[in-house]
Amino acid sequence: MQDEELNPGGANSFTPKQAFAAFRRHVHTMVPMGLLLLAAGIVIVSMMPNVYRASTTILVDPQKIPERYVASTITTDLNARLNTLTQQVLSASRLQEIIDRNDLYPKMRQKASREEVIDYMRSKTKIDIKAASEDQGLSSFSITYESENRDLVAKVTNQLAESFIAWNLNARELQAQGTKQFLSGELDEAKKSLEEQESALQAYRLQHAGATPDALTGNLQALSRLQAESQANEDAIGRLDQERILLTQTKSSDPRGMPLTERDRLVQERRRLEGDLSRLRQQFTDSYPDVITVKEQIKEINARLATMPESLAGISEPMDTNTKVRLALIEKELERRHQHKAGLQQQIQSFQGKVDSVPVLETRLAELTRNYEVSRQNYQSLLDKTLSAGMSEELEKKQQAERFTVLDAAKTPEKPVKPARAILFSVVIVAALLFPLGTVLVKELLSGAIRGEAELKEMLTPGIPVLGTIPPIQSKLDFRREWWLRVRTSLLLLLTCTALAIFLLKVRPVL
């Protein structure tokens, strides 16, 4: 049969019967290969280190005392604070302390650097946040730690939980202390400012005592009283002047009156104008036009009187004793009334000045009062906040505020979580069965051997017949060799199974 007579386009077929025949031919190779893979896989999976996991749950216990009685100064979001605590607890210094205390990873520390060991432990630590609801927010969180040391995994987990609780208490207490110290400093500044404003307001009130807006009503009443008293005094002076004029103009011997001189007429006119001026001042200020006119008229009369000689009327004639006594009394009373008038005018001017200065003083007083009220309100607000911060600090010290509580402490695990040996053993068994079968099939497909008459016909050019087939010829040596291979395979299978059974009984891997 020539090569060019073969049909290169023919497809090689591999039937189940041919596959079974191939498996029978290579069974003595497949069994050792499968046993080797099975033994190696079982040994590797059994020798894999056990990884244990311990977990503890920490409950976020809310504040014991209602917030309407004592408000906490810790307003930081719990998730943000938890992230901060996580960074603090999983910091290099804290993890290094736990590693040194429990002598963790002794072999790894001999080969790896300190940072690599810490990163490895950090990768084995996991924190899961559990939220109760959207409104309630964070309710609890769990800390999980994995390690190959079954006896230390729970201990390390509890130490991490204790670190979280201790750091949380310390952070809250420090934050409460910082808030109180800040508010105390601000309160001292506010108190100092309040005292300065109070001193300025008190000094201003003392400087302008009796002239402040709150004394305006009293000043107006006093001014009205003084003006009425001044008017009464003016009336009394007028009556005394008239009586004196009458007495000086009356002769002791002649009952008839003498005519008034120019000087006496001017004196009477001055008295009348002074009475009008007093009445006008009761209603108007000195800048009122009528008041100014009357003043000018009085000034002119005084100037004219100064140029005239004293009146001699009534003096040429002798007066009786009673008239002289009465004139002396009138002069004394006029002198006293004029002195009283001067005093009243001075008091009226003083009170009038106080009344007139009220608008100017009111602006400045309002500014000082406003600054004082602002300082007082600021001081009172800071005082309330400082007292609240002090109670909040005591709340944190007595651990009555929000805190972390261990709900379920970590316990020593009974079984490892890794590796999943049951699954791995199943994979090894399946691989030990399929790998030899696949190897034999691939070898048969790649060998290029003709496996039957039908396959040969597909490969030949149509029209070329198959003359005959030669069956396999086995000699006694072939039978003996086949028998020996079966015995060797059986012994190898028995020995392998026995060795694996002894190994598994000795190692006792946890599934």
Nearest Cα to 74, choosing from 86, 59, 84?
A: 84
Model confidence band, residue 252 (pLDDT cutoffs 50, 70, 90):
very low
Supply the pLDDT for residue 313.
44
Greater confidence (10 vs 185) lies with: 185
Q: Is residue 193 part of a domain?
A: no
Q: 292 and 333, same structural domain?
A: yes
Q: 103 and 31, same structural domain?
A: no
Q: Is residue 366 part of a domain?
A: no
The residue whose two tokens read 């007139």 is 356
Q: 150 and 240, same structural domain?
A: no
Which domain covers residue 41, as residue numbers? 3-45+419-507
Supply the pLDDT for residue 427.
92
Q: Is residue 195 part of a domain?
A: no
Q: Is residue 208 part of a domain?
A: no
Mutual angle of helices 321-356 and 216-249, in 10-degree steps:
160
The strand pair at 125-133 and 403-408 is best described as unpaired
Greater confidence (39 vs 22) lies with: 39
Q: Is residue 155 part of a domain?
A: yes
Q: 326 and 245, same structural domain?
A: yes
Residue-wise pLDDT for 118-144, tens only, equals: 999 888 888 887 655 444 445 677 889
Share of the chain above pLDDT 70, in %: 80
Instruction: Please state, in angstroms and rounded to a whole number, the distance separating the CA atoms of residues 60 and 168.
Output: 11
Q: 479 and 393, same structural domain?
A: no
Partner residues linked to 129 by β-bridges: 141
Q: 253 and 124, same structural domain?
A: no
Q: How many domains does the chain have?
A: 3
Q: 325 and 395, same structural domain?
A: no
Q: 483 and 458, same structural domain?
A: yes
Q: 249 and 164, same structural domain?
A: no
Q: Residue 189: is its pLDDT beyond 80?
A: yes
Q: Is residue 338 part of a domain?
A: yes
Q: 148 and 116, same structural domain?
A: yes
Asked whether the whole model's pTM tops 0.75, one would answer: no
Greater confidence (413 vs 390) lies with: 413
What would the two tokens of residue 322 be?
């009673």
Q: 219 and 312, same structural domain?
A: yes
Instruction: Please state, in angstroms and rounded to a whole number, the distance separating the CA atoms of residues 118 and 78.
Output: 26
For the domain that residue 129 is a member of, what is the CATH number? 3.30.1890
Q: 328 and 423, same structural domain?
A: no
Q: Residue 450: is its pLDDT beyond 60?
A: yes
